Amino acid sequence: MVKPLKVVIAGCSGRMGHALLEGVFADGELVLHAALDRADNPQLGRDAGEQFGRASGIKVISDIDFALKDADVLVDFTRPEASMAYLAACQKHQVKMIIGTTGFSVEEKQAIEAASKNIAIVFAPNMSVGVTLLINLVEQAARVLNQGYDIEVVEMHHRHKVDAPSGTALRLGEAAAYGLGQDLKDCAVYAREGVTGEREAGKIGFATLRGGDVVGDHTVVLAGIGERVELTHKASSRATFALGALRAAKYLADKTSGLYDMRDVLGLR
């Protein structure tokens, strides 16, 4: 019998943390090894399963080194500064890592890539299976509609999201740019205000909406003369991201190093 993967959940008291805990508790191939949160979190010392009406025997703690001892994989959907601390600790303890955090700087992304030479990492701005498929479709659509079509990426999230555009929107923009044979940094337009002049061909525009409790909506519009193609994904529950992340954790079970994304997990490349 295969032993279940020992999973550490970072930011376990947050919205994504709750979804991840629920996913681990429901999966016989996984076992909760530790539940991490900030040192000032009021949930510290309480049972991680309490909100689900169960006793897991795992208390919420802030000691990263203690949490990672003998663990297999850490799942992180927190903030960039916290993710960097978790990344360093995972390298120290040789623990694999799933990173769903967004808003990283170029330097932080380089640090993740460097760390993947020592430990196995799945790094994706969106762990949804549907969004992963959408990324592939956007790349193909941009490659086919590469003349006479304007590309815009529209995203909406809840009022508490702190980065914009979303990491998923940027990833969709990268896919579209790749399909056009370009680099996103050379063709992205992130803001329009005042007299902007006519839209320049070959540019990829972004529009960001924030409000309410929207989990995550993303649409890529390819607008031509007389027609437009719209590719859309709407998430109604964080469970979709949690399930994707836990699927990624299982994917890393036999990996010792390397940097992967959800397309690798789903066998799409």
Task: Report the catalytic residues.
Answer: 157, 161
Residues with Cβ within 8 Å of residue 246, at least 6 apart in sequence: 7, 20, 23, 24, 27, 30, 75
Distances (CA, A) of 253 to 71, 75, 125, 222: 12, 13, 21, 39
Which has the closest alpha carbon to 23: 266, 236, 240?
240
Which has the closest alpha carbon to 109: 63, 181, 167, 158?
167
Pairing of strands 150-157, 120-123: unpaired
Phi, psi torsion values for 227, nearest 5 degrees: -160, 160
Pairing of strands 228-235, 258-260: unpaired
